[in-house]
Amino acid sequence: MKRETDKVIIAATLILMTIGVVMIYSASYIVADQRFGDGYYFLKKQLLHITLGLLVLIGAMRFPYHYYRPLVYPLLILSTLLLLIPLISGAGVEAGGSRRWVQVGHFVFQPSELAKLSLIIYLAYFFSSKVDKVRTFKVGFLPPIITGGILIGLVLKEPDFGGALFLAAILFFMMFVAGVRLRYVLALVLASMPLLYLMVVRVGYRWNRIIAFLDPWKESEGAGFQVVQSFIAFGSGGLWGRGLGKGGQKLFYLPEAHTDFILSIVGEELGLIGVSLIILLFVLILYGGIRVALEARDLFGAYLATGVVALIGLQALINMGVVTGLLPPKGLPLPFISYGGSSLIVSSAAIGILLNIYYRSREV
């Protein structure tokens, strides 16, 4: 495994992309035909996303990771500006009551995805260059909190509560790994609890989601509808599944089945075996990522690889938790599987960075 880490990561990523394409086609054909008059609409767009993603992956794999050091602050500034664009009236693309997207030509991009990667690169750079002061409040704690807080605040304004919480999770995870004093982090978390409580309780749809999470069957015709339909999909799939393309929940029962809840369709059509295969592939990527972090040539590479592991691993874990009812709905896609270009391209870039760190660690 040690000498084949790159091959395992590449193979697992490509297999996940392939499964994603097949399942997106299966989950979206009827919806696409009804909505756009073209059953292949989402399939064709996802194939374009994958092409772009693979090009980005190859580019990031060949780009020496230490060259990101001088790009840290330009990337942060770019991410901040892109997050501001959807907040400007008429400038962003609105969907579902939120402005989270920027349209460039025919391509719609979600700036919060780039913000995740920019934050990881910044934190890797910051903590690797402040090793002797990382346990101090003024230097090791305050700057990353302020920087991360700006990005989190802008994502909250879209509003994207789930995306903001995910950025916060990456921030706290990397602070913990870097050795920031735990009492500072815990104090901040405790101080944030009243604000989080108010942000949930005073926003009707968020509170309804919490109620539905606690008892989805009670809200099966309302906020719990999507989760209940997801349960039905998993339950009807059993061990081996109903067969590829034979699932019924995608037929206008499970909303947007090709996006955040695509794992439910996998469970229905490919059964526990198919879901287990996807979990195994993510485990292989994460295991390979941890090995890369442990064997990196320098602390910057180690922290960068750790951030990539967090980006892929936490997102996959949260998505799986949501579709199985273990976590409240967050609106996070399943990396490499769910339909969407922004997440796929950023995740591909992250894998490319991980591979570059691995190859650099093998140089004599």
Tell me the pTM. Answer: 0.93
- Cα 79 from Cα 180, distance rounded (Å): 25
256: left (phi over 0), alpha (psi -120 to 50) or beta: left
Which residue, among 189, 174, 116, has the nearest Cα to 140 in the 3D structure? Answer: 174
> What digits encode the pLDDT tens for the residues 92-120?
666 655 677 787 767 778 889 999 999 99
Question: Which tops the pLDDT comparison, 213 or 148?
Answer: 148
- Cα 14 from Cα 97, distance rounded (Å): 34
The total of structural domains in the chain comes to: 1
Please list, in sequence order, all residues whose beta carbon lies within 8 angstroms of the beta carbon of residue 166, skipping any fewer than 6 positions away. 116, 314, 315, 318, 330, 332
Q: What is the pLDDT of residue 356?
A: 96
- Cα 133 from Cα 131, distance rounded (Å): 6
Q: Are 336 and 328 in contact (CB under 8 A)?
A: no
Question: Which tops the pLDDT comparison, 162 or 64?
Answer: 64
- Residue 96: domain span: 5-361
pLDDT above 90 coverage of the chain, percent: 62
- Cα 119 from Cα 115, distance rounded (Å): 6
- Cα 162 from Cα 155, distance rounded (Å): 9
